[in-house]
Amino acid sequence: MYISQNSVSSLINPYRVLFAVLFVFLFWQYSPSQSRAEEITTVAQFSVPLPKVRTISPEQILQQSLKTTYDNARFLTVVNTTEKISHTNLELFCLAKNIYHEAANQSSVGKIAVAQVTLNRTTSPKFAGDICSVVFARNQFSWANDHNKRWSHPNNSQWDDSMNIARDVLEGKRVKGMEHALYFHEYQIRPKWKNRARLAKIGDHIFYR
């Protein structure tokens, strides 16, 4: 069968057109994808790194919780704090003795407040630097002037209570508002003190800073 040149050309031309359309289509599909890939690469290269997430330890969470509780507590409320005091068994004994002789018949708040005065003095330049030296300082706590009482070991429920209070205070228990208390006396006594700010009366004792 004879096929003329014009007939062949007429058959090839549609294929050429189809090929050209396919080429343009593929080129159009490729170009945006490449641009997007280049754009993503550029953003990845120049983007600002995300800040590191700060991890909070359980101890930090507890400290923040105790601080919040303390800040929100009312004046003269007993609260737990993170103010733990490193101590020896002898210092525990001296603190308990001061609580026992000064506040054995007082409430728990009164006992803790007396213990706080004792601890506050250990960090004050006006007094000695450890618990036993503070307790046995001359003419500070009247019972300690009697040397026979200093190392006697009571054996009753009030002593047990004083020891428990001493442990609690050394572990961080405090009375809100007694942070700067350095002095106290029984309410019947009229000491010749000057320039000492009164903080509160707790039971039979009046406390000053």
Report pLDDT for 14. 57
| Amino acid symbol at 125 | P
Report pLDDT for 192. 86
Cα first-last separation, the chain: 125
Query: Which residue carries 């004994």 as its tokens?
Result: 93
Rounded Cα distance, 92 and 174, in Å:
16
Spatial neighbors of 115 by CB under 8 A, at least 6 apart, are 95, 98, 99, 165, 166, 169
Judge contact between 121 and 127, C-beta under 8 A. yes
- Give me the mean pLDDT over the 81-101 stretch: 97
If 0-12 CB within 10 Å is exposed, 13-18 middle and 19+ buried, where does residue 166 land?
Answer: buried
Rounded Cα distance, 135 and 100, in Å:
12
Q: Which residue in 138, 118, 141 sits closest to 130, CA to CA?
A: 118
Per-residue pLDDT tens over the stretch 55-75: 888 888 878 888 898 889 999
Mean pLDDT of all residues in the chain? 84
Rounded Cα distance, 10 and 3, in Å:
11
Query: E strands within the chain?
Result: 78-80, 173-175, 183-186, 198-202, 205-208
Report pLDDT for 43. 47
Report pLDDT for 201. 98
